[in-house]
Structures are given as C-alpha cells and as structure tokens.
Amino acid sequence: MKTYLVTGGAGFIGSNFIIYMLNKYDDVKIINVDALTYAGNLENLKSVENNPNYKFVQADIRDREAIQKIFDENTVDYVVNFAAESHVDRSISDPDIFVQTNVLGTVNLLNIAKAAWSTGDDTYRDGVKFHQVSTDEVYGSLGETGFFMETTPLCPHSPYSSSKAASDMFVKAYHDTYKLPINITRCSNNYGPYQFPEKLIPLIMNNTLLHKDLPVYGDGMQVRDWLYVDDHCKAIDMVIRDGVDGEVYNVGGHNERPNIFIVKTIIQYIKENVDETVGEHMIKYVADRKGHDRRYGIDPQKIKDALGWYPETCFEVGIKKTLKWYLDNQDWVKNVTSGEYQKYYEKMYKDK
C-alpha cells in the first residue's frame, strides 16, 4: 500500500486525479491536503469521500505545522503537488499570492518531505518521491512552428507561469543539491469535469447558456494545446510509478486549437443540444490579456518513448463529454458561480 499526499486535491485536476487513482487501484491510500480557496470544492469528491483509502485534511501548503503533522501521523510515500494559484488573469491583477502559494508553499513541502524521508546525509527511504505538477506555460510562447521540449529553456511571461517556473526550479534544486527523488511533469491546457468557470471552456459554456457576452481576448487566434484531464492523470500516475528520478516529462496530445475555434465549438454544441437561439453573434472581441502568450504546443515524444504514455481521449470525444458533464451538473455550476464568482466576473470583465 502506497500513501500519496496529494495537495490541491479539491481543485480541478487534483480531484480528477484522486478519482482516477481510487477507481483504478485498491492498494493506494490518498491524503488530500487542500486549503479550500475559491478554486477548491469538496463537492468534486463526493464519489470517493467514503472510500476507506481516502482522507481529506484542510490545510495550507505554506503551513509548516499542519503539513508536519500529516507527515508525523502517516507514512507518506509520494507527494503529488497540485496545489497552486492557477489562473493567469488573477496573477496579472494580484501576483503576490502566486509567489506565496506556488513558490513558498512548494518550498515548505520540499523541506518537510526531505526531513521526513531522510535516512542520512542526502539519502532517503526507498520508494519515496516528490512529484511536481507543472505547466507548459513555463516555456513561454511559441511562434507558428516548433514545439516545447523538455530541453526548451524556461522563459515564462505571466506572473502565474513565472511562479510555476520558480517552483519547478526549487524542486530541481532539491534534487541537484540534496538528491531528493523528484519528477516534474509539464502539461498543456486541460479540460474536463470540475474545471472552475474562470477558465476558457467552462466560462464560455456558462455564458452561452446564460445568454451573456462571450469574451474573446484580442483576435482569438491564440493557440492552446488541449488535453482531456484523465490523460493528464494517467501521465502523472505513470511518471510517479516509472519515471526516472530527476527527470522532467512534457505531457500533451498534439491537439492545438485557436481560442475562437473552441468558442465556436461550444456555441454549436449548445445550439444543437439545448437552445437554438444561441449563436456567434454572442461573441464579443475584448481587450487582449496583457503579455498574452500566442501559442503553446507540446512535444510529448519523451513520455511516449520512455513510459508508453499516449492520450486516450481525442478532442472531438472529450469536448462533448465535458460539455455534457457541465449540462448534467448545473447545480455544481450554480454553486461555484454564486457569491464570490459574481464579484470576480464583474471586476475582471467590466472594462473589457
């Protein structure tokens, strides 16, 4: 039985990862450590909350005592660090919390894991690992050709991607300096159930259903490389199990789409399945995001060759599954978009 300390497990990808792991394995124990910020929601975990191999602890990854207590009370084998401030637009208006959580929080976890796992001078208990869940955004932006490889120099532009790059560098430093066993995965944009509707796909879905403007930044021709969330979870699972110590693995499914294509796909889906009055007239081109990265595209050859990973859900299937999930889970959407979300939306989009 391996014990995974999963941070940020009440967020979008973290909750999908916990569900994926508990459905797949009987011999893993998961401790979900989440501060429950605006992005964390225990409703996501309803299907596993009574699983005897699952436990939730509300704690902040920056909190030394709280994290230490978890290590004292459990034999943690793996730390899987999802916890982060994750939204680029929020990082542009309020960068400080991104440094706090993404950088200082990660360093706190590294310090505690390193001490808990230590068996001597730079030696550690067998079978332990710190897995950092990172993003392709640390590589910066691509032109019309080429892909991000693990060897691509880091060149982040937004406060969000800079904080993720900094935390990646600390994880690498703990490996290079103290030989702490680590891996880093850098994945492209995810989509799927439980994504908070500040991100493009659920935001456009929600606005279309509510007959609100559909805000497209700049010319809408920025390209993102979309991956269904379960394929990301599969990659993390494989890297934790079989990844070579110290290595970085890029994760992406060669599925690049311009934003405007995504927006039109969502409109079309709702038109066909829910409400024929919606249409492209709802699109509103608004002021571009500051420092907006033009294109992301992952070269996943390393994880394919080394671990046999491949994406199982093609975009055409995944997007329909995702949009249907949002339609079937309107109570979830209503809960997360009440209260604070309204204030966020007003502040973020009023001058656009």
CA distance 234 to 345: 33
Among 18, 21, 35, 116, contact with ligand NAD (rule: CB under 6 A)? 35
259 binds ligand TYD (CB under 6 A): yes
83 binds ligand NAD (CB under 6 A): yes
Q: How many residues bind ligand TYD (CB under 6 A)?
A: 12
Work out the burial of residue 303: count CB atoms within 10 Å of its CB; fewer than 13 is exposed, 13-18 middle, 19 or more buried.
buried
H or E stretch covering 227: strand 227-228
203 contact choice in ligand NAD, ligand TYD, none (CB below 5 to 8 Å, kind-dependent): ligand TYD
Nearer residue to ligand TYD within complex by CB, 108 or 207 = 207
CA distance 171 to 154: 14
C-alpha dihedral over 173, 10, 52, 124, to 10 degrees? 0
131 contact choice in ligand NAD, ligand TYD, none (CB below 5 to 8 Å, kind-dependent): none
> Which residue is catalytic, options 34, 60, 85, 137?
137
Catalytic annotation present for 126: no
Catalytic annotation present for 136: yes
- CA proximity to 87, closest of 76, 101, 77: 101
Helices 315-328 and 200-209: crossing angle in degrees, nearest 10, is 50
Tokens for 100?
A: 């706090």
Catalytic annotation present for 349: no
298 contact choice in ligand NAD, ligand TYD, none (CB below 5 to 8 Å, kind-dependent): none
42 binds ligand NAD (CB under 6 A): no
What minimum distance in Å lies between the beta carbon of 136 and ligand NAD?
A: 7
CA distance 224 to 295: 6
What minimum distance in Å lies between the beta carbon of 142 and ligand TYD?
A: 13
CA distance 14 to 22: 12
Here's the x/- map for ligand NAD, 163-202, by CB under 6 A: it reads as -x----------------------x-xx-----x------
Number of C-alpha atoms within 13 angstroms, CB side, residue 267?
Answer: 19
216 contact choice in ligand TYD, ligand NAD, none (CB below 5 to 8 Å, kind-dependent): ligand TYD
Nearer residue to ligand TYD within complex by CB, 88 or 103 = 88
Among 189, 208, 255, 337, contact with ligand TYD (rule: CB under 6 A)? 189
> Which residue is catalytic, options 139, 160, 228, 345?
160
CA distance 215 to 218: 9
Tokens for 234?
A: 């599969």
Contacting residues toward ligand TYD, per CB under 6 A: 88, 189, 199-200, 203, 215-217, 222, 224, 259, 289
Task: Give catalytic residues, as residue numbers.
Answer: 136-137, 160
